[in-house]
Structure 1
């Protein structure tokens, strides 16, 4: 009984390593935690099962995400363009406000777009402007000719087509030409500020947002108010363009700077005035014929 009590008592083995060294032939048993080993085995078994059923795990994608070098999709796929529509609502709102209220010395690309251009805002701003011009043009035409005995209202869908062609061509072809020209000049003149094609598209797209409320005012039967809204929209949106592209051309030859400035302003004026003259009927002093 005394022998059994001795075995049940806790013993303090201070020199465990020396005891094992003195008895090299003794067998040592290590008991692992009862919960950890089965859990490891279950994890290993589950991983092996997933690999057997679904093939190898996506280790390549995980490695790319961890390294920050996720491969981009080819440009002819929808996944490539999907990234340019991934933008937060507050970013779009800030960019619209920045394009409507330009401030001297505040570059639109540097403050709102740099390293994160989007196509969501420019696309929907252009689409909204197209339909606003079409609707305003039809309503204005109806109000101008309303009351004439032979007048019968017919929706003019061609105005939507003309507006869409003009606006989307301006919002894409002009930035493309400007980007190509700036790239060419950048190779000849050092220390020039360079913009990507998408950044230029973003600037032109957001600069058109001020025209949406201006076009809505065209419904009011007042030629003076119409032209005032056009001039105000031209000044605000044109200021955004000049404040943005001036750093990219100011170090160039003076003749080149003048030519680029005149071209940007002229095309901007032609778009606004052309839409007004072609798509909105004149409001003659209450239509003298009637």
Structure 2
């Protein structure tokens, strides 16, 4: 039988020493009967709302998730230019050095398409084509006493219309066609509109140094440079869009690639005839 002393509350020296050594230690108050009952039953709830918010923010940062507003906000359009210099240089390098089996979207864009590189490539291409056209005409007519040089400023506007229409309308048509084929053939893969525009924009970079070299008034060299530029830039497009259409019917797949390459070749040949023609002597 228990003695009366065993039923009394006793202070344990070890607990007292622990509290004296660590006064900030958390204690459990049983002033609230419901809390005491929950504690005695083992059902203890802890408010971790702040910690969950912090963990969610950390996971979003680590996961690289982008939170953008609607299309009327600045942040929405800022995401289209969210690239650094090294990424742009890597994509330019990939556009001038296409390797067999390397898809430009998967190996260089990596789910982060941008408009920064394509925009400045198109702007630079417009001025390089227009200026080199003037230089070519001047060098071709050098020594002709009947020729009087006049800057051809209209070439800038013509080049701008041609380049930007090609860089936007052709990708729009390709993206629309691939989207339609995806709805018809479920196994057909495709790209987003922004990825398609990004591929076309970077594929035009090779024409910038080519247009500068076009100032050399050598007929066979001009055509050689055109062929090289078409092969390089066309190779980027073929290796990018062929995996998206190869599972379609053979006729559709080959017809699609023929159209893509033909439009790209027409752009280069258009540069040659529109901006490299020698103007007739003026009296």
TM-score normalised by length of structure 1: 0.75
The reply to whether residue 269 of structure 1 matches residue 252 of structure 2 is: no
5 Å-filtered alignment, 1:1-290, equals 18-19=10-11, 65-66=57-58, 68=60, 71-282=67-278
Q: Secondary structure at the match of 1:130?
A: helix
- Pair 1:272–1:65, CA change in 2 (3 A): same
Would you identify which runs of 4 or more consecutive aligned residues in structure 1 move more than 3 Å?
61-67
Structure 1 149/170 Cα, relative in aligned 2: closer, same or farther at 3 Å? Answer: same
Deviations 1:227-258 (A, max 9, x none): 11110000011011001000111111222112
Instruction: Let me know the Cα RMSD of the aligned residues.
Output: 2.8
**3-state SS in 2 of match to 1:151:** coil
In structure 2, the gaps of 5 or more residues are 1-8, 13-19, 25-52
Give the number of equivalent residue pairs.
Answer: 239
Paired with 2:214 and 2:156, the residues of 1 have a C-alpha distance of: 16
Kindly state the Cα deviation for residue 62 of structure 1 after the two structures are TM-superposed.
7.5
CA distance in 1, matches of 2:169, 2:72: 19
Deviation at 1:82, TM superposition (A): 1.1
- Quick check: 1:100–1:236 contact (8 Å CA) kept in 2? yes
What is the deviation of 1:79?
A: 2.3
- Pair 1:127–1:268, CA change in 2 (3 A): same
Q: Which whole-Å CA distance do the structure 2 matches of 1:70 and 1:211 have between them?
A: 34
Shift of 1:206: 0.7
CA, structure 1 residues 77+254, in 2 after alignment: closer, same or farther (shift >3 Å)?
same
| In structure 1, distance between residues paired with 2:215 and 2:23 | 83
How far apart are 1:278 and its partner, in Å? 0.7
User: If the length of structure 2 is used for normalisation, what is the TM-score?
Assistant: 0.76
Listed one character per residue, the Cα deviations across residues 3-61 of structure 1 (whole Å, up to 9, x for unaligned) are xxxxxxxxxxxxxx8249xxxxxxxx9x967xxxxxxxxxxxxxxxxxxxxxxxxxxx9
Give the deviation of 1:146 after TM superposition.
2.5
Q: Report the secondary structure of 1:74's partner residue.
A: coil
Conserved 8 A contact 1:101-1:236: yes
The secondary structure found in structure 2 opposite 1:176 is: helix
